[in-house]
Chain A
C-alpha cells in the first residue's frame, strides 16, 4: 500500500511555464515533507522541504504548498527551464528520533521541459 501517492507520472511543460506536481499522504504522523530531484544515472538530491506548521515555502523558482487538512502537498516550479528536466519525488517521514533515516517516497514524476 503506497502511503504517499504522487501525480502525474509524467509531465511535459514548455520553457517558461509552470510545472505542478501533486502528492497526497495517508499517515497523519508524517511531519516532514521533502522533495527530491533526480537526474538520469544519479542519486536523488534534496530540492526543498516543508514541515506542516507552515502552508507554503519558497526557494527561488521552487515552491511547496501544503494543505494539512487535505493531507496534500505540491511542488510548483515557476519559469520552468530545460535544465529542470528530471524525475521528482515527494517524500514524507514520521515523528521520532529515527525519522531522518526513514523516508516514504511517492512514485515519482518525470518532468520534461521543452525549449
Chain B
C-alpha cells in the first residue's frame, strides 16, 4: 500500500493564480481531511469529508474548495491564491468513527508570491 500520496511536493504560485493540490489514498478509508501547517500554529483543519459526495468545512475554509467524487481522491482547490495561503498542506485519511488513527501524507509546500 502506498498509503496517502500528495502531489506536487512543492509549488510556487503568483497571487491570483488557481491550482489544485492532489490527494489520494489506497486504504479504502471513509474519512479524509485537509490541514495546513504554519509555524507556531500547529495544524489547522481546512475541509473534511466523511464519504464520497459528502464534504464539510473545518476551522479555516476560506479561499479553498473541495469535492469528493471517489473514496480514493480528495483534491483541494485554491481559487485565487493569496500570500496568506503560503503554508505546508497535509492530507490525511482515517477509517472513520471515533478515535481511529489518522494517516497523513508527506505534504505539499506552497509558496504564494
Contact = CB atoms under 8 A, between A and B. Distances in A.
Interface of A: 2, 4, 6, 9, 31-32, 34, 36, 41-46, 49, 51, 89, 93, 95-108
Contacts of B107: 41-43
Contacts of A43: 4, 90, 92, 104-107
Contacts of A96: 98
Band of interface residues on B: 20 to 34
Contact of B102 (A42, A98, A101): A101
A9 B94 contact: no
A104 B102 CA distance: 12
Interface of B: 4, 31-33, 35, 40-45, 48-50, 56, 58-59, 90, 92, 94-102, 104-107
A105 B38 CA distance: 12
A8 to B, nearest CB: 12
Contacts of B59: 104
A54 to B, nearest CB: 13
Nearest to A42: B106
A33 to B, nearest CB: 9
Interface centre among B4, B42, B97, B99 (most CB of A within 10 A): B42
A32 B33 CA distance: 17
A66 to B, nearest CB: 14
A107 B42 contact: yes
A46 B90 contact: no
B5 to A, nearest CB: 11
Contacts of A102: 33, 45, 48, 58
Contact of B43 (A34, A42, A89): A89
